[in-house]
Amino acid sequence: MYVRPSIEEPTRDLIGHVIRQEFNDLEDEIRKLGDRKYAEAVALCVTAAGYIAVNAAEHWPTDAETRELARHTSASARGFDLRESDVHTFISRAALGGERLDQVFTSAKDVAWLPLVITSTMLLAFLPRDMDNWWEYLDVIWYAINAAENAEMSILPALMIRQKRIQVSTIQ
């Protein structure tokens, strides 16, 4: 998935409304976007949530780790009740599992709403220590998604070796 500028900005605006608990503005923004663009924004949120989960775990998360990510995310929710079971289902089945949202959630409202709310909450809950703002983290995520989209899969072993060397060098 490539992060197109025409959908990146509205997605960032939606996330900002959720984080600032500006729910009336959020509803207005969703209406202005229309169904197709909102679906694209939701798809970006699903991808971003997957990135955040892998980044927080520092590897592909196990089921136990996705449950812990879900617990921390739901406990970090502000301004709305976010059930841990919904967060776990979203992370494990949609963000990491690649399942379609309408197969993951039975309610159309959950399909439309939960990816945005969960991803917004995850951005704050798992903000890297060296970053001050959620939008800075989102910039890193968008950049990484675009870089991965343009990369050959053959570089994955080299990236894994690089990651291991960095880990070893920081321990020594």
Structural contact between residues 76 and 102, judged by C-beta atoms closer than 8 angstroms? no
What is the rounded CA–CA span in Å between residue 15 and residue 25?
A: 11
The tens place of each residue's pLDDT in the chain, 172 residues long, gives 778 888 999 999 999 999 999 988 999 999 999 999 999 999 999 999 999 999 999 899 999 999 999 999 999 998 888 999 999 999 999 999 999 999 999 999 899 899 999 999 999 999 999 999 999 999 999 999 999 988 999 998 998 898 888 888 877 6
Angle formed by the axes of helices 134-150 and 108-125, to 10°? 110
Structural contact between residues 52 and 119, judged by C-beta atoms closer than 8 angstroms? yes
Identify the sign of the CA torsion 78, 83, 85, 91. negative
Domain boundaries, the chain: 5-171
